[in-house]
Chains A and B, each alone.
Chain A
Amino acid sequence: MSALLEISNLSAKVGGKNVLNGLSLTIGAGEVHAIMGPNGSGKSTLSYVLAGRPGYEITGGSVRYRGADLLSLPTEERARAGLFLGFQYPVEIPGVNNVYLLKAALNAKRKASGQQEVDAYEFLQLVRAKMKLMQIDESFLKRGVNEGFSGGEKKRNEILQMLVLEPALAVLDETDSGLDIDALKVVAKGVNSLRSSERGVLLITHYQRLLDHVVPDFVHVLARGRIAKTGGKELALELERRGYDWVLEVA
């Protein structure tokens, strides 16, 4: 069976600058990978390139998702095919109801796979159950998308969306940053609840502490736009202790 995600020798430019330089990474079904690395090493760029954000120019390499060419798909089709990006800075969309957006997203996905639109009542039940898991207040149902949310609320909302959409591959871009320890535990619980033998998770993070709660199978260090080192979960601890310099020197 082919890997869930297979990034080969990927290079990309943004604003005329090379940010990814021959990055290769394979994520198998059921695996959780963590990517760490210094600021400016290309972590967020990788997540945007995978999701298909406009403004990122692919200059080389390929990405195969479930055996098919991911980069030729438009952004929304990648999402419908099960690729989810948890944003580092989730945007506010004033006046657009959270539940409305979530329902539109779920239905877009269902429609793409030939399923019926979700029943309104069942949908609400589903959202309520996931809200409970993410300790999100009932008032959330009436609020606009991320409108007036605190940093922590926005991150929990990202995970809530992920749980409702049940992606095959979740790319979480610094979902842990700006969270206090309690919120971090909630987010981790959400991510762990999604882990399964069919799904893959790519965690982009600066800090080892998230990895105490969501234990990765692999930890990669990204430097200058490519994977500089790969190891098990113990690599994260070592990075925490020693910083990145020693990896960069070796690379």
Chain B
Amino acid sequence: MSTPEIDSLLQQSYRHGFVTDIESDTLPPGLDEDVVRFISRKKKEPEFLLNWRLKAYRHWLTMKEPHWAKLRVHPIDYQGISYFSAPKRDPNAPKSLAEVDPKLLATYEKLGVPLHERARLAGVAVDAVFDSVSVATTFKERLAEAGVIFCSFSDAVQKHPALIEKYLGTVVPHTDNFFAALNSAVFSDGSFVYVPPGVRCPMELSTYFRINAKNTGQFERTLIIAAPGSHVSYLEGCTAPMRDENQLHAAVVELITEDDAEIKYSTVQNWYPGDERGIGGIYNFVTKRGECRGRNSKISWTQVETGSAITWKYPSCVLKGENSVGEFYSVATANNYQQADTGTKMIHIGANTKSTIVSKGISAGHGQNSYRGLVKILPSAHGARNFTQCDSLLMGGNCGAHTFPYIETRNPSATVEHEASTSKISEDQLFYCLQRGIDEEDAVNMIVSGFCKTVLDVLPMEFAVEAQNLLAVSLEGAVG
């Protein structure tokens, strides 16, 4: 598309978009300041937020797409994306489960996804596919009793603007990186959590129960604040493969823990990975970072990444508070033509800060899996300690595992340990299981689960079972 054409399209959006026709649902493709203004206005945002978005947009214009990761990415046309579309029905969406691809349904079956959930996940065009009202209401009442705020980001902007203004962008600034800057300019929606001082959140917070969770879209923004002495466990994602028309996903997640507070953030990500030949699939460029601001605070990231054509993701911890603790537990699989470049950054600033990194990478088919991690000990971090364990499992001869650990220590009292291993599922292990009467598929699943055990063990229980099934499904047929 030539520049004049784009311009004319943008003009159109300008005319029909936000100036007169505020009811318009979707912007045509393209991005400029007016698009940013349109989004903010559509969401009835306060001025500070609009200004912040604009700052981010202007900064984004000066930035270049990063290409340091070990990924091959088809060029992304940022002007070819529509940056605002209100939740609406896809006219091509299946009308009932009978119209859904049987292969997808078979996968749901294997994962044990409940029937009513299958319809929602497969994108069946039904407004209320299941009766969530009663569950959600009870859930909300219990949270309100405890004083926990858990709502969509948009709701929080309306109801708690002071909290948003105080914390937004304080962990991941709008200038942080190319994708974070883009997200800051055009983010659609996401989750907001505030846990008041001394409160232990009475249940696991899951996006599943969040009202208006549908269509949070490709530029999701999440902010979680744990006030002094509070505790919260947050579950993100879903084990079932998600259909999504948007190829580019660039989410930002910010976590903040004050003194003695703890956030446990668990993710199971299973976006569409593309087909067996690597066609299609989601590009997932995510910025996730937590800041342990207070003494004795703790942030723990656990992720099971099986989806997406491309995963670019480094959930990190900035350990400012004395004695604060950062953890990163990760399982990442790359099958067929999937590419994953994922890892973490642990930045030790406070004294006696401690971090643990356990990364399990599984490569199969033509998958390429890279661990990229930075452990940085600043001069102020006396007695800081890190332990890193980084294991790769290869299935078949066409895949690859790569490890890029960076360690920078500027305090001599720090202790940093790094262990790494690469192994194959051995013929001996398979034969052993077969000789005990276990069939090959079960044997492979068993060996893979064993390999990931340290990570699966720290997932909330119901998630762990799902994640194990998910690993089995995503590596189906990888050996043999």
Q: Which A residues are closer than 8 A to B by beta carbons?
A: 51-55, 74-76, 79-80, 84-85, 87, 90-91, 93-96, 100-102, 104-105, 108-109, 112, 144-145, 161, 165
Docked-complex contact B446 and A51, CB < 8 angstroms: no
CB distance from B445 to the nearest CB of A (A): 10
Partner of A144, one of B426, B440, B450: B450
Chain A residues within an 8 Å CB radius of B451: 94-95
Docked-complex contact A101 and B454, CB < 8 angstroms: no
Docked-complex contact B435 and A96, CB < 8 angstroms: no
- Does chain A have a CB within 8 A of B432? yes
Which residue of chain A lies nearest to B447 when distances are taken between CB atoms in the complex? A93
Sample 6 A-B pairs with CB under 8 A, ordered by A number.
Answer: A53-B431, A54-B431, A79-B434, A96-B449, A96-B450, A101-B446
Docked-complex contact B454 and A79, CB < 8 angstroms: no
CB distance from B476 to the nearest CB of A (A): 18
Partner of A101, one of B426, B433, B452: B433
CB distance from B221 to the nearest CB of A (A): 36
Interface residues of B in 404-444 (CB under 8 A from A): 426-429, 431-440, 442
Partner of B436, one of A53, A112, A165: A165
Kindly name the residue among B431, B437, B452 whose own CB sees the greatest number of chain A CB atoms within 10 A.
B437
A80–B431 CA distance with the chains assembled, in angstroms = 14
Docked-complex contact A90 and B442, CB < 8 angstroms: no
Partner of B428, one of A84, A91, A95, A161: A91
Docked-complex contact B429 and A108, CB < 8 angstroms: no
Partner of A76, one of B426, B434, B453: B434
CB distance from B93 to the nearest CB of A (A): 40
Docked-complex contact B447 and A108, CB < 8 angstroms: no
From known contacts A87-B432, A95-B453, infer whether A105 and B437 are also in contact, taking CB-CB under 8 Å: yes
A95–B447 CA distance with the chains assembled, in angstroms = 8
Which residue of chain B lies nearest to A94 when distances are taken between CB atoms in the complex? B450
A51–B430 CA distance with the chains assembled, in angstroms = 13
Chain B residues within an 8 Å CB radius of A112: 437
From known contacts A75-B434, A87-B432, A91-B432, infer whether A100 and B446 are also in contact, taking CB-CB under 8 Å: yes
From known contacts A91-B428, A91-B432, infer whether A76 and B438 are also in contact, taking CB-CB under 8 Å: yes
A-B contacts counted at CB < 8 A amount to: 78
* Binary contact readout B393-404 vs A (1 if CB under 8 angstroms, 0 otherwise): 000000000000
A80–B434 CA distance with the chains assembled, in angstroms = 10
Chain A residues within an 8 Å CB radius of B431: 51, 53-54, 75
CB distance from A162 to the nearest CB of B (A): 10
Q: Which B residues are closer than 8 A to A by beta carbons?
A: 426-429, 431-440, 442, 446-447, 449-454
Chain A residues within an 8 Å CB radius of B434: 52, 74-76, 79
Which residue of chain B lies nearest to A75 when distances are taken between CB atoms in the complex? B434
| 6 further contact pairs, Cβ within 8 A, besides A52-B434, A76-B438, A95-B453 | A54-B427, A74-B434, A91-B426, A101-B438, A109-B437, A165-B436
A67–B181 CA distance with the chains assembled, in angstroms = 73
Chain B residues within an 8 Å CB radius of A84: 435
Which residue of chain A lies nearest to B428 when distances are taken between CB atoms in the complex? A91
Which residue of chain B lies nearest to A77 when distances are taken between CB atoms in the complex? B437
Docked-complex contact B432 and A93, CB < 8 angstroms: yes
Docked-complex contact B432 and A90, CB < 8 angstroms: yes
Chain B residues within an 8 Å CB radius of A52: 434-435
CB distance from A54 to the nearest CB of B (A): 7
Docked-complex contact A161 and B436, CB < 8 angstroms: yes
Chain B residues within an 8 Å CB radius of A94: 450-451, 453
Docked-complex contact A80 and B437, CB < 8 angstroms: yes
A109–B435 CA distance with the chains assembled, in angstroms = 11
Chain B residues within an 8 Å CB radius of A90: 432
CB distance from A171 to the nearest CB of B (A): 10
Chain B residues within an 8 Å CB radius of A95: 449-454
Which residue of chain A lies nearest to B456 when distances are taken between CB atoms in the complex? A95
Docked-complex contact B437 and A76, CB < 8 angstroms: yes
Docked-complex contact B446 and A93, CB < 8 angstroms: yes
Chain A residues within an 8 Å CB radius of B442: 104, 108
Chain B residues within an 8 Å CB radius of A108: 436-439, 442
CB distance from B454 to the nearest CB of A (A): 7
Chain A residues within an 8 Å CB radius of B447: 93, 96
A104–B449 CA distance with the chains assembled, in angstroms = 14
A65–B437 CA distance with the chains assembled, in angstroms = 16
Which residue of chain B lies nearest to A85 when distances are taken between CB atoms in the complex? B435
Kindly name the residue among B431, B435, B442, B451 whose own CB sees the greatest number of chain A CB atoms within 10 A.
B435
A104–B453 CA distance with the chains assembled, in angstroms = 17
Chain B residues within an 8 Å CB radius of A87: 432, 435
Chain B residues within an 8 Å CB radius of A79: 434-437
Chain A residues within an 8 Å CB radius of B454: 95
A94–B432 CA distance with the chains assembled, in angstroms = 13
A95–B453 CA distance with the chains assembled, in angstroms = 6
A91–B447 CA distance with the chains assembled, in angstroms = 12
CB distance from A82 to the nearest CB of B (A): 10
Chain B residues within an 8 Å CB radius of A102: 436
Partner of B435, one of A55, A75, A104: A75
A96–B429 CA distance with the chains assembled, in angstroms = 11
A109–B339 CA distance with the chains assembled, in angstroms = 39
A145–B428 CA distance with the chains assembled, in angstroms = 13
Chain A residues within an 8 Å CB radius of B452: 95
Chain A residues within an 8 Å CB radius of B436: 79, 101-102, 104-105, 108, 161, 165
Chain B residues within an 8 Å CB radius of A165: 436-437
Which residue of chain B lies nearest to A53 when distances are taken between CB atoms in the complex? B431
10 closest cross-chain pairs (CB), A and B? A95-B450, A95-B453, A96-B450, A105-B436, A79-B437, A108-B437, A75-B434, A80-B437, A91-B428, A76-B434
Which residue of chain A lies nearest to B436 when distances are taken between CB atoms in the complex? A105
CB distance from B62 to the nearest CB of A (A): 47
Docked-complex contact A93 and B450, CB < 8 angstroms: yes
Which residue of chain A lies nearest to B453 when distances are taken between CB atoms in the complex? A95
Docked-complex contact A96 and B446, CB < 8 angstroms: yes
CB distance from B217 to the nearest CB of A (A): 37
CB distance from A200 to the nearest CB of B (A): 17
CB distance from A90 to the nearest CB of B (A): 7
Chain A residues within an 8 Å CB radius of B435: 51-53, 75-76, 79, 84-85, 87
Chain A residues within an 8 Å CB radius of B439: 76, 108
CB distance from A145 to the nearest CB of B (A): 8
CB distance from B479 to the nearest CB of A (A): 12
CB distance from B126 to the nearest CB of A (A): 37
